[in-house]
Amino acid sequence: MAKVLFLIVSGKGCEEKVNYAIISAARITKGKRFDEFKILLYGPAEEYIVHLEGEVAESFSFLVKEKVIDSACSAIAQKKGIDKTLSNVGVSLAPFGERLAYFINQGYSVITF
């Protein structure tokens, strides 16, 4: 039983990496390639995703709709003043350390972007 977590940390300056991660995640989800698949957003990625456009924005919306996006770090979102914006696009906010520990304790393989 494969359980995979994408940890997306990159943001401005690494746009291509984040875009590939999001598009790949949508394809993984559509293809049901893993038994369990989730995404955590942290740091610069939280700021970057509020400005997505085109295919990447569509892929991200799909991931939100399919409940693949677990959460973004509540502390970072509040510090950067984007907590309401993230909530408005359907991203839950939670303490990052707690969510990461949960997935690791559940046996997820973590892939970082």
Q: DSSP letters of 5-40?
A: EEEE---TT-HHHHHHHHHHHHHHHHHT-SSEEEEE
CATH of domain 3-112: 3.40.1260.10
pLDDT digits 0-9 by tens, 34-65: 999 999 999 999 999 999 999 999 999 999 99
Spatial separation of the C-alpha atoms in residues 105 and 74, rounded to whole Å: 21
Domain ranges of the chain: 3-112
pLDDT digits 0-9 by tens, 92-103: 999 999 999 999
Q: What is the mean pLDDT of the segment spanning 19-39?
A: 98
pTM of the complete model: 0.94
